[in-house]
Structure 1
Amino acid sequence: MQEFNPSSEHLQIRDSIIKAGKIALKWFKNDPENWEKEDGSLISKVDIEINNLLGRILKKSNPNFGWLSEESEDDKSRLEKEITFVVDPLDGTKAFLEGKKEFSISIALVKNGEPISGIVYSPSTKEIFESEKNKGSWKNKKRIHISKFNELSDCKMVAFKPMFSHPSWKNPWPKMSVENRNSVAYRMALVASGEFDAMMALNSKNDWDIAAGDLLITEAGGYVSQHNAKKLKYNNVSTKKPSVIGSNKKIYDEIIARVKDLKL
């Protein structure tokens, strides 16, 4: 039986993310204080509380690592670090505040632009998806693999459903089973575990949304990139990426053929 043998840094991330999950569950469906950020997205006191907890634990133990979090002021000294934490304290805040289980906590370690360790934790469903480079991907300590279903037609896609029926598509999309999850990190984890065949987001995402999920899908045997097939690199000056696509090789190629020339 295969076993996951994580590094000490990964174990520390796992321990801290479980503690963070307890904070999320304490406030889940308990109407925490929340407000809009300047960009119109929601933030709650839970996002801040989890961010502060993770920062205290991880930065204190790893003072030489950079820190990039959705809920922290961007410390550009991270650009000079070989290794950086990339953190989303609560991915899917809107779903969390609405009492839906589609939220997650996402942490990645990025080395020289590439994720080398990643965890996406769904506290409400008790799912821990984790990976380290060259060690495969795992869900609740059981090895997971990308789906082997190899046709875009009739595949299970996790994405924003109205996107596929937009009149601007020159080539209509085939029939697919499409569901959405509010957390992008969780969507990527579900693709890594084979519960969905593919995921696609054609709107701007940040490093903290996708770095851990990128590693999960890749180590599960899948492919991840921007819509133009450009490989994702993390911990740059700008944290924004125009899009993200993840699937097995066959479906990935079919999606890329349809979207590679889009101007996003």
Structure 2
Amino acid sequence: MTEAAAAQDLLDRRADLELIRTVVLVAGERALTERDAGLKVWSKSGGSPVTNADLAVDQLLREALLSARPDYGWLSEETADSADRLEARRIFVVDPIDGTVAYMKNKPWWCIPIAVVEDGRPVAAVIHAPALNETFEAVLGGGARLNGRPITASDTETLDDASVLADARLMEGPHWPEPWPVMRLEKRNALAYRMALVAAGAFDAAIALSPKWDWDVCAGALIAEEAGALVSDHHGRPWRFNRADPRQASLVCSAPALHSLILKRCASIPLGL
């Protein structure tokens, strides 16, 4: 790539970040308004809940983003997938409401994650948590921020007493060859928000050993990595996006010194994909 082309790509990514930041704030207000007006809730195939607000926010995002970038592809939890996105150099990856159960129950731990993926990797991303007034963002090579202020992952070096976002039943189960040390385990509904909290240093790691959809983790991957965290599946394989199967095998997002320690303990657990 020529120097001029690289400079243009950087300008494009910054423009994309400004676009998705502007649109996600509007989408957050729409989600709050829809909930205040009363939600209609039903179950999707597989049993997970969906609301009229999920669909309304999805439509708002799709119309606003694709009208501004008509040549970009689209991948969203609430839009039927199309193979057309595989031919696009850049695509939007969106979850209209990540953490729908928390959203329905008026809990604060839900968010709207949006990423722009270019040639298989996220290059601009925003995670907006409207109920908490928190907006995380990053552009490739430009660091990560929360409400405009730079953030960095924690410098924790040991798993003992680490603060970890993971299911206690998973971490304390009998299937581990070596028990985990005592850690402070907590849960948050939205995967994207968990990764944002690791990026901000509020938690030392987030672990989930089952396959995860791209729309849940794509924005978080860029924000976490730009904050200095490490992200992979639990066998250490790096993620790549905009593939025919829009899933990652599992999630390990952690402070840099903890990543290899977590992978070592997870090595015996088979990959789900």
What TM-score do the two structures reach when normalised by structure 2? 0.93
- Percent identity between the aligned chains? 36
Matching residue within 184, 188, 194 for 2:191: 184
Check conservation: 1:29, 1:97, Cα contact below 8 A.
no
**Post-superposition shift, 1:39?**
1.3
Partner amino acid, structure 2, of 1:242: A
- The 5-angstrom pairing of residues 21-36 of structure 1 reads 21-28=28-35, 31-36=38-43
**Post-superposition shift, 1:31?**
4.0
| SS, match of residue 253 in structure 2 | strand
Check conservation: 1:70, 1:208, Cα contact below 8 A.
yes
2: CA distance, partners of 1:100 / 1:260: 35
Check conservation: 1:31, 1:97, Cα contact below 8 A.
no
Partner of 1:170: 177
**Post-superposition shift, 1:99?**
1.5
Matching residue within 202, 210, 215 for 1:203: 210
Structure 2: give runs of 5+ residues left out of the alignment.
1-10
Structure 1: give runs of 5+ residues left out of the alignment.
none
Cα deviation per residue 1:170-206 (whole Å; 9 max; x = unaligned)?
2111100111000000000000000001111111210
**Post-superposition shift, 1:261?**
3.1
More helix by share: 2
1: CA distance, partners of 2:33 / 2:74: 26
Partner of 1:52: 59
Check conservation: 1:83, 1:111, Cα contact below 8 A.
yes
Matched, 1:157 2:157: no
2: CA distance, partners of 1:155 / 1:28: 35
Check conservation: 1:29, 1:98, Cα contact below 8 A.
no
- The 5-angstrom pairing of residues 1-264 of structure 1 reads 7-28=14-35, 31-263=38-270, 264=272
2: CA distance, partners of 1:111 / 1:232: 13
1: CA distance, partners of 2:268 / 2:97: 32
Partner amino acid, structure 2, of 1:151: T
Cα deviation per residue 1:56-76 (whole Å; 9 max; x = unaligned)?
100111011110000001021
Coordinate RMSD, CA, aligned: 1.2
Partner amino acid, structure 2, of 1:55: R
| SS, match of residue 97 in structure 2 | strand
The 1:29–1:163 alpha-carbon spacing in structure 2 relative to 1, beyond 3 Å, is farther
2: CA distance, partners of 1:219 / 1:157: 20
1: CA distance, partners of 2:240 / 2:253: 15
What TM-score do the two structures reach when normalised by structure 1? 0.96
| SS, match of residue 131 in structure 2 | coil
Check conservation: 2:115, 2:125, Cα contact below 8 A.
yes
**Post-superposition shift, 1:260?**
2.3
Partner amino acid, structure 2, of 1:181: R
Which 4+ stretches in 1 moved above 6 angstroms? none
1: CA distance, partners of 2:239 / 2:230: 11
Partner amino acid, structure 1, of 2:236: A
Partner amino acid, structure 1, of 2:120: G
Check conservation: 1:29, 1:99, Cα contact below 8 A.
no
